[in-house]
Structure 1
Amino acid sequence: MKKHLLLAQAAPVTLAVVDLVKPGDLDRATPCAEWDVRALCAHLLEWGPPLEGAARKESVPPGDGSGDVRGQFERLAAGWSAPAAWEGMTVMATMELPADMVGGMVLAEFVLHGWDLARALDVPIAFPDDVLLLMYDEVARTADQGRAMGVYGPEVAVPADAPLFDRVLGLSGRTPG
């Protein structure tokens, strides 16, 4: 299946969790080291604009960390639902990168940070297997670079026969369950 269609499948799953976040949840801890829900939302709002701009092949500076998380996710999903967003090169803030690599980062925003929010709220989250297969490939492709940049933690050992989502999480440095 085409990557832009898989992102479109991931978006509503994450948006359903985003819709559950209430003001009283902002101080809840997430699986992300040193981030509560408020800090995770600020991260999403800071890096959402450059990722959104990258879908249009435009350089956009990071946001100020405030705003509407749902709206930001909707704009990301809309921008990256276009097949052309995944083609050629693009700009992430000021760095030129392969567009499909940045698209993989966007998918990670939905899948990994969707899971982070779900864990903080203690609600289940599940993505289609096709989405998780792509996510695993994307994390594997960028894991070393991500760890060097502090985006991913050290790989968490997960049994080879563990569910695919657990293997994705472990590869990204998250402890499943």
Structure 2
Amino acid sequence: MGEIADRYQRRAKAFEQKVAAVRPEQWGNQSPCEKWTAKDVVDHIVMMHGIMLMPAGRKLEPSDDPLTAFQEARAAVEEVLDDPVLALAEADTPSGRMTTEQHIDQVISDDLVLHGWDLARATDQDETMDPADVERLWSSTASIPPEMMEKFRTPGAFGEGVEVFGPEVKVPADAPLQDRLLGMIGRQP
């Protein structure tokens, strides 16, 4: 496995642990994403896995159980990442032409960290993100050009109902990096 597959696997394992820790009565809890419950967060992650699998000719079978749905989505993505032909196939994406593994890394792998925080917040779990992931996400997010950041903050810019980032939440400049990252993407740390 390469660096991208390793990173995805580590992040997916952490996300899966959060999903497994959700108690049945918590699935309806409000998440930090205004329109989503805890279950909606997991549904979004699974749906995005399905989108990442489409260029590889793969399709997910739906499951009503959030843990099962995520485990199946994770297994399908790991299978693609383990296949050099599928992982290195190029496709056009909203961010330009890139390999399947690069697209997985930039979208769902990063989403596992950020939405893992959302799920943790919604279900009273530990909200601490891996410091290496925070630094990596801070670096990549802070380097987004202003015109692209504006597009990320515009509801529907990437399709109907799609919201990437919310309006920036101001946090003190000396706040922990995780809090500054969360504020940058529109979360209240």
**When the two structures are superposed, what TM-score results if normalisation uses the length of structure 1?**
0.75
Residue 155, structure 1, aligned to residue 172, structure 2: no
- Which one of 128, 131, 134 corresponds to residue 130 of structure 2? 128
Larger Rg: 2
Letter in 1 for 2:151: Q
How far apart are residue 81 of structure 1 and its match? 6.8
Q: Provide the identity percentage.
A: 24
Residue 146, structure 1, aligned to residue 152, structure 2: yes
CA separation of 1:61/1:83 partners in 2, compared to 1, >3 Å: closer, same or farther? closer
**Deviating more after overlay: 26-35 vs 164-173:** 164-173
Residue of structure 2 in register with 1:5 after alignment: 6
In 1, Cα distance between the equivalents of 2:82 and 2:30? 31
RMSD after superposition? 3.3
**Paired positions, count:** 172
1:24-103 to 2 correspondences below 5 Å: 24-51=25-52, 53=53, 57-58=55-56, 66=64, 68-77=69-78, 79-80=80-81, 89-91=90-92, 97-99=97-99, 100-103=102-105
- Which one of 179, 182, 185 corresponds to residue 166 of structure 1? 179
Letter in 2 for 1:143: M
Name stretches of at least 5 consecutive residues in structure 1 with no aligned partner: none
Name stretches of at least 5 consecutive residues in structure 2 with no aligned partner: 158-162
In 2, Cα distance between the equivalents of 1:59 and 1:96? 20
Secondary structure (helix, strand or coil) at the match of 1:72 reads helix
In 2, Cα distance between the equivalents of 1:138 and 1:61? 29
How far apart are residue 164 of structure 1 and its match? 1.9
Residue of structure 1 in register with 2:160 after alignment: none
How far apart are residue 4 of structure 1 and its match? 4.0
**When the two structures are superposed, what TM-score results if normalisation uses the length of structure 2?**
0.71
